[in-house]
Amino acid sequence: MISKKEISELADLCKLSPDDIGREDFLESLEEVINLFDKIKDVGVEGVEPTYQVNDYKEPLTDDIVKESLPQEEVLKNTEEEKYGYFKILKVVD
Amino acid sequence: MKIVDLKARDIREKIVSKELTALEVVEAFLEHIENTDKDINAFISIDKEGAKEAALRIDEKIKKGEKVGRLAGIPIGIKDNIVTRDLRTTCGSKMLENYQSPYDARVVEIIRKEDGIIIGKTNMDEFSMGTSTETSYFGPSKNPLDTDLVPGGSSGGSAAALASKQVALALGSDTGGSVRQAASFCGLVGLRPSYGRISRYGLVTLSNTMDQIGVLARDIEDAGLFLSVLAGYDENDPTSVDLDIAPNLDFKADGIADIKAMKIGVPSELESLGIDKEVMEAFNKAIETIKDQGGHVEEISLPHLEYALETYLLISNAEASSNLARFDGLRYGYRAEDYETLDELYVKSRTEGFGDEVKRRITLGTYILTKSHAEEYYKKALKIRTLIREDFDKAFEGVDVLLLPTSTCQPFKLGERLPNPVDMYKMEEATIPASLAGLPAMSIPINHKASLPTGLQVIGKKFREEDVLKLGLAIERMVE
């Protein structure tokens, strides 16, 4: 069972409303999925390395050359509010 | 034959030979969309003007005797999680309802360069989270074979558009099976290439270690053409690979020789996947046909197959919760109207902007990654992923390709499974293993005469799309 405290902590971490993800039907669906996860307890993994990526790949190093990037107005065109060429958000420091 | 009935490669050929103009082709497809999409809802956005302009440019090139690209004049649908400069990219979500990308995805650039015609952006489960296209903010797409049924998903809009002949090729994305599963529900070919084969630059990510752009086509030859055009390294996607793709296959061959030359494996653990009786019957019948034609089919073992679903859910949800943290209502995407603090802006924008399935996966992913659960769930899943990859490596020591059913079930009625997420997840049990291992896998329709379509899945060794296409072609010829 996921406790109310856990839901409140999860909501804070995922920036979702605790009332919304704390709905009874929603909690039931979460628990149903979490119950599935118990199955993996049977699998022995001692000495097994984790797979983070399926292909061997190296972080490529690129030459330090200045390239043209997106113009400011392109970057800002999807925001709800902008000011002086910046994203406008609430004042966070007085 | 009507223009919309033509295969993609034939469209190009007829345009090049001046039997048809690209404009005639585009107008025929647009008219067909006009007549059918009210019932199918395959598209979120349609670019009539852009498509006609692109067609005129091709006709002009041909008139001047200039060379045209490998996709010249072929009408193509793009899943709406692949960004386009001139059309919004919504990911089937209210969160991105009005999002306009400032750049084209690499695959979109290639399509334009090769003179393909982008008809529009296709419907999908919200952020690719679903297997029926029912979680889309823009309403579900319908299966053109029977509009009471779902088209599969999450690339269901692409599959529905192609199956209803609104386009001649379509792009999808496949994380746990979205291209293959939708193809199997709509009686199409759906190919997910090896991880890294096609650049993911400009694909809105769900689960970055499994997402892969894939192709949907009406037959293997069209799928092979589309794949060979799109494959390649891209410096903007460091996970893409710099490996040559095999040259075009001989599509004139009957494929029987290929069947005899290949060793084919079938996992002995299929029963552990809970596959519906009708699907297994169609699958077994296809295997018998392959054997009758002289195919060497043998049982192989994938001992960890039964843990693939849980492993996938743990890894993909963990990755999704992290990847979707970028939707904060500030730089782009939906922003709530009333908020007093910055935190309230985030919470309200995300709570109002995402649908339930997205919230479920974000919450689950966050739960999986919390300090108290990360070790027992996330890290363990990463290790089981290694065991699943090793199972495949071992199996491929003895065989060239593997066969499995695609979806665990046939297309079902709209609304029938939506209330039960776990039922939805289980439909991908047979497609998930190849995703976890990054292998190429393709769904081919097998029971043309039956009332409901079923898909057969061919899985190949990593970067051996050639084997998958070869066997697929042979099977296609057999079931025809």
Residue B392 has pLDDT above 90, yes or no: yes
Residue with the two structure tokens 């991908």 = B428
The 10s digit of each residue's pLDDT in B173-218 is 999 999 999 999 999 999 999 999 999 999 999 999 999 999 999 9
Q: What single string gives the DSSP state of each residue in B317-344? A: HHHHHHHGGG--SSSSS---S--SSHHH
Q: Is B470 a catalytic residue?
A: no
Residue A18 lies in a domain: yes
Q: Which residues touch A93 (CB under 8 Å, ≥6 apart)? A: none
What is the model's pLDDT at position B248?
A: 65
Nearest to B195 among A34, A43, A54 (CB): A54
Residue A80 lies in a domain: no
Mutation target to probe the A interface, by most A beta carbons within 10 A, among B366, B424, B461, B463 is B366
Query: How many residue contacts between A and B have a Cβ separation below 8 Å?
Result: 153
Q: Is B79 a catalytic residue?
A: yes
Nearest to A54 among B307, B332, B437 (CB): B437
Residue B261 has pLDDT above 90, yes or no: no
Q: Which residues touch A89 (CB under 8 Å, ≥6 apart)? A: A81, B330, B342, B345
User: Which chain B residues are Cβ-neighbours of A11 within 8 angstroms?
Assistant: 347, 363
Average pLDDT on B302-306 reads 97
The 10s digit of each residue's pLDDT in B210-253 is 999 999 999 999 999 999 999 999 999 999 998 888 766 777 77
Count of structural domains, chain A: 1
B85–A contact, CB cutoff 8 A:
no
B375–A contact, CB cutoff 8 A:
no
CA distance readout (Å), B200 to B123, B197, B245, B263, B398: 19, 9, 17, 32, 32
Spatial CA neighbour of B454 closest among B286, B325, B296, B324: B286
DSSP conformation class of B115: T
Window 241-300 of B: residues touching A by CB (8 A cutoff) are 241
* Lowest mean per-residue pLDDT among A14-18, B5-9, B125-129, B370-374: B370-374
Mean pLDDT of chain B: 96
Residue B454 in tokens: 């079923």
Residue A22 lies in a domain: yes
The 10s digit of each residue's pLDDT in B310-334 is 999 999 999 999 999 999 999 999 9
The answer to whether B127 and B208 have CB atoms below 8 angstroms apart is no
State how far the Cα of B19 lies from the Cα of B16, in Å rounded to an integer: 8
- How far apart are the two ends of chain B, measured CA to CA in Å? 19
Average pLDDT on B347-366 reads 98
Residue A14 has pLDDT above 80, yes or no: yes
Average pLDDT on B427-451 reads 93
Domain that holds residue A29: 4-40
The 10s digit of each residue's pLDDT in B62-106 is 999 999 999 999 999 999 999 999 999 999 999 999 999 999 999
What is the model's pLDDT at position B247?
A: 65
Spatial CA neighbour of B183 closest among B207, B149, B218: B218
* Lowest mean per-residue pLDDT among B42-56, B83-97, B245-259, B462-476: B245-259
Catalytic residue among B45, B101, B128, B154: B154
- E strands, B233-359, in order: 263-267, 296-300
The 10s digit of each residue's pLDDT in B403-429 is 999 999 999 999 999 989 999 999 999
What is the model's pLDDT at position B477?
A: 86
B362–A contact, CB cutoff 8 A:
yes
User: Which chain B residues are Cβ-neighbours of A83 within 8 angstroms?
Assistant: none
B233–A contact, CB cutoff 8 A:
no
Nearest to A26 among B341, B356, B381 (CB): B356
Residues listed for chain B: 480
B332–A contact, CB cutoff 8 A:
yes
Q: At B185, which helix (H) or strand (E)?
A: helix B178-186
Residue B155 has pLDDT above 90, yes or no: yes
Residue A78 lies in a domain: no
Sheet holding B441-445, edge to edge: B43-46, B117-122, B75-79, B169-174, B212-217, B189-192, B441-445, B455-460, B401-405, B263-267, B296-300
What is the model's pLDDT at position A62?
A: 81
CATH 3.90.1300.10 describes domain B1-298+401-480: yes
